[in-house]
Structure 1
Amino acid sequence: MKQLSIILLLFFSVFSSKAQSAKLQKATFGMGCFWCSEALFQQLNGVTAVRSGYEGGNVANPSYEDVCTGTTGHAEVIEVTYDPQKIKYDELLEVFWKSHDPTTLNRQGADVGTQYRSVIFYHNDEQKKIAEQYKKELNASKVFQKPIVTAITKAAPFYVAENYHQDYFNKNGSQPYCKMVILPKREKLEKLF
C-alpha cells in the first residue's frame, strides 16, 4: 500500500508540473543590450525565466562575436517565459515600450548596429495582433516625439547566448556598466511598476 501511495504521489507531481508548464508562454523582445533587458524582465512577477540570445538572422548558431559584426542579421534578444495567469502579454509589452527608445533605428544609447534594433518576435497571432495594436495606439497618441520603428516579426530560431551572458546583472552587479547603465533602468522600472 505504501508503494502505491508513493507511485500515485509521483504521478500527480509529474502531472501537476506538466500542467503547470503547459500554461507557460514565451515572449521575445529585442531592445538593445540583452544584459539590460534581462535584468528588467527578471524582476516581474509572473516571469519564470529570461534567457539572453540571438534571433532574426541568417546564420545558424551564431556566437556573440559573430553577432557583434552586424553581418549575421541577428538581434540581441531576451526570451521571456511567463505565466499568463500572473502577467499578461500586454503588460510585458508595456515594460518593453517604457524601457527603451523604440524610435531609434538600430541603436540604443551608445550601442549602435542592427543587433541592437528594437524588435518584437511574436509567437502566435494573438501576440502579433496585440503588439501591432499597441504600436498603432502609441503612434496615434504621439507618446514618443518620433514614430516608432520597432519591427514586429514572426519568431525565428532563437539561439541561446553564451553562459557568461546569462543572468549577467545578478552575477556582475558591481561592475561599472551594471552600476551606471543597468541599475538606473531597474530603479526606473521599479518606480513605474
Structure 2
Amino acid sequence: MNNAQATFAGGCFWCIEAAFNSLDGVLSATSGYCGGETLDPTYDSICTGQTGHAEVVQISFDESIISYQALLEIFFTLHDATQLNRQGNDVGTQYRSAIFYHDQTQQQLANDYIEALTADAIFDAPIVTTVVPLETFYSAEAFHQGYYLQNPSQGYCAMVISPKFNKFKAKYADKLKT
C-alpha cells in the first residue's frame, strides 16, 4: 500500500466526506477543521466565523489505487469553486473553497489543475479556491463523522446533499467501492 493524505474544503463537510468515503482507494475521509487561529475549535465556534477555520475533509488514500490528481478532479465536481466564502445557502468563511496541501507536489498539482480549469473556461466565473499549506487539522466532533450516510432523511441531508451525492455516484460509478 502507498498511503497518502489530502485535505479539501468545499462547503459543508457532510457531503464531501460521504463522497470521498465512497471511492475505491480511499481508506478514510474525516470531517474536520483547518486554516484558523483558534486552538481546538469546535463546530459551534467555527460557525461564528470568528476562528478562521474552514470545514474540511482529510482523506487518507492508497495512491496505488487512486491518485491525488483524481481526488483533485473529483473535488472540483463536488462543489462550486467560484463561490467566495459560501456554498449555496451556506454562507461564511468556514464554507470557503480551499486545498490544504501536504507537500510541494500537491501544491504544484493543485495550482496546475486550477490553471487548466481556468484556461479551459470550465466555470462561468473565476475560481476562488485557495491553495495553502496544511498547518493543523482538527477532527470534527464524533457526531459529524459519517453524518450524511447515517442521517440521509434529515432535512438538510435530504434537500441539499442527496441530489449532489446521487449525481456524484452516477458520474463516478466506476470509481466507487463495491
So what's the TM-score if we normalise by structure 1? 0.87
Calculate the aligned-residue CA RMSD, in Å. Answer: 0.8
2:29 partner SS: strand
> Which residue of the partner structure matches residue 11 of structure 2?
32
Q: Highest relative contact order (Cα 8 Å, sep 6+), 1 or 2? A: 2
CA distance, structure 2, for counterparts of residue 149 and residue 156 of structure 1: 20
- 2:176 match: none
Q: 1:68, 1:115 within 8 Å by CA — same for their partners in 2? A: yes
Deviation at 1:179, TM superposition (A): 1.5
State yes or no: 1:84 paired with 2:63. Answer: yes
Work out the CA distance in 2 between the residues paired with 1:106 and 1:53: 17
In 1, Cα distance between the equivalents of 2:121 and 2:90?
25
Query: What's the offset of the Cα at 1:125?
Result: 0.8
1:147-188 Cα distance to aligned partner (Å, 9 max, x none): 100000000100011111011012111212211111111111
Question: Please, which runs of 5 or more residues in structure 1 have no aligned partner?
Answer: 1-19
Flag as ranges the 4+ runs of structure 1 deviating above 4 A. none
Question: What is the aligned partner in structure 2 of residue 170 from structure 1?
Answer: 149
CA distances 1:88-112 after superposition (whole Å, capped 9, x unpaired): 0010011110111001100101000
Does the residue aligned with 1:80 lie in a helix, a strand or coil?
strand
Deviations 1:21-40 (A, max 9, x none): xx211000000000111111
Maintained 8 Å contact 1:58/1:72 = yes
1:62 matched to 2:41: yes
Query: Which structure's residues are more often helix, by fraction?
Result: 1
2:102 matches 1:144: no
Question: Secondary structure of 1:52's match?
Answer: strand
- Is residue 2:168 matched to residue 1:189? yes
Q: How does 1:10-21 map to 2 (within 5 A)?
A: 20=1
- In the alignment, does 2:54 pair up with 1:75? yes
User: 2:90 maps to which residue?
Assistant: 111
Report % sequence identity: 49
Distance 1:121 1:109 in 2: 22
* 1:101 equivalent in structure 2: 80
Given residue 60 of structure 2, which amino acid in structure 1 is its aligned partner? T
What are the ranges of 5 or more consecutive residues in structure 2 without an aligned counterpart? 173-178
Give the secondary structure class of the aligned counterpart of 2:22. Answer: coil
- Conserved 8 A contact 1:40-1:185: no
TM-score, L = length of structure 2: 0.94
Give the counterpart of 2:137 among 151, 155, 158: 158
Aligned to 1:120, the other structure's residue is in SS state strand
- SS at the partner of 1:96? helix
- 1:130 is matched with which residue: 103, 109, 112? 109
Q: Which amino acid aligns with 1:130?
A: L
Q: Measure, in 1, the Cα distance between the counterparts of 2:158 and 2:88.
A: 16
CA-CA distance at 1:64 after TM superposition? 0.6
Paired residue secondary structure (2:81): coil
**Aligned residue pairs, count:** 172
Q: Which residue of 1 aligns with 2:175?
A: none
Q: Distance in 2 between matches of 1:170 and 1:101?
A: 22
